[in-house]
Structure 1
Amino acid sequence: MRDANMKVVLVHPEIPGNTGTIGRTCVALDLELILIHPLGFDIGEKSVRRAGLDYWKYVRLTEYQSWQAFMADRAPRDDQLFLFENDGEGGSVYEPAYPPDAYLIFGKETKGLPPEVLTGRAKRTFRLPMRSPHIRSLNLANAATAVIYQAMRSYLA
């Protein structure tokens, strides 16, 4: 197994259960979870812990008060940023080669990523393919887990 130090970034998440479930996935793969405020819930809510089960205490959690604070502190390279939206112009999540230090960035459940995150990053924005015309979007926790495992694929073999 090759080393990877990927990070999962949730920008303004709204549903505590999704954040808890994604946190559990991060624990399973030893990834840092970064939350960008404002959050639609209190991080101490039972529903976050319930979705993360008794693993929540093991989540490597970092919080930032804004996208700007995150960018100023982390100063990621452009090639580290992978944004995910239903209509990502960069192509399918299966196309990029994810570097071991990638930031996998997801937006809030109801509106996706805000303009301040998306502006100038169309080619860094990817989508999870959906074959049915009857589905507008996937649950954030399900989509994030699928993307995370795809991004980690070459590091888990």
Structure 2
Amino acid sequence: MLHVVMIEPEIPHNAGAAGRLALATGARLHLVKPLGFSLEDKHVRRTGLDYWKDVDLRVWDSFDELRIAADAGARFWFLSTKAQRSHWDAEFRDGDYLVFGCESRGLPEGLIHEAGEQAVRIPMKEGGTRSLNLSTAVGIVLYEAVRQVGGV
């Protein structure tokens, strides 16, 4: 099973869309507080449609709490526009955690620096756009990981 982690997501429809992606791929969705919305928000439910109730969802008070609870040997991949390495160069394995930051700030630079080779980015045309929508980024990286792992 792959894991999608959203640290402090701010926009409910991104969490809803990530939930649908997780359900479609058999991944688990982890949301790390604080959330910029209520999980009862109609936008989360609307984007997740009638699937939201079936999403394998875990909500954490902190990222450290999630890390402590993760299986021994679990690998965390940190997605950031500030990373140097492409997600295409990552060798994903079953059980990996794909970690995304919030919409307005991304991941803290300390996490990206600490991650080293485990920090990856989605390649984009230079001068094209600063970043992608969070749920779009989740879909791109999650499906690459699923392809490599041989899932779905």
TM-score range, shorter chain: over 0.9
Deviations 1:59-109 (A, max 9, x none): 00001101111112225536x1111001213x1111111011110110000
SS at match of 1:121: helix
Structure 1 gap ranges (5+): none
Partner in structure 1 of residue 12 of structure 2: 16
Q: How large is the Cα RMSD of the aligned pairs?
A: 1.6
Partner in structure 2 of residue 87 of structure 1: 82
CA separation in 2, counterparts of 1:38 and 1:29? 26
CA separation in 2, counterparts of 1:86 and 1:16? 22
Partner in structure 1 of residue 43 of structure 2: 47
Deviations 1:92-148 (A, max 9, x none): 111111011110110000100124533511321100000141300000011110110
Kindly tell me: are residues 35 and 116 of structure 1, through their superposed partners in 2, closer, same or farther at Cα, counting changes over 3 Å?
farther
Does the CA-based 8 Å contact 1:33-1:59 persist in structure 2? Answer: yes
- Structure 1 residue 18: Cα displacement: 0.4
CA separation in 1, counterparts of 2:115 and 2:126? 27
Partner in structure 2 of residue 99 of structure 1: 93
CA separation in 1, counterparts of 2:82 and 2:92? 19
CA separation in 2, counterparts of 1:116 and 1:106? 14
Does the CA-based 8 Å contact 2:32-2:61 persist in structure 1? Answer: yes
Partner in structure 2 of residue 133 of structure 1: 127
Alignment of 1:143 onto 2:137 = yes
Does the CA-based 8 Å contact 1:14-1:40 persist in structure 2? Answer: yes
The 10-residue stretch of structure 1 (110-119 or 59-68) with the greater mean CA deviation from structure 2 = 110-119
Look up the equivalent residue of 1:93 and give its one-letter code: H
Partner in structure 1 of residue 54 of structure 2: 58
Does the CA-based 8 Å contact 1:16-1:41 persist in structure 2? Answer: yes
Structure 2 gap ranges (5+): none
Deviating beyond 6 angstroms after TM superposition, the runs of 4 or more aligned structure 1 residues are: none
SS at match of 1:156: coil
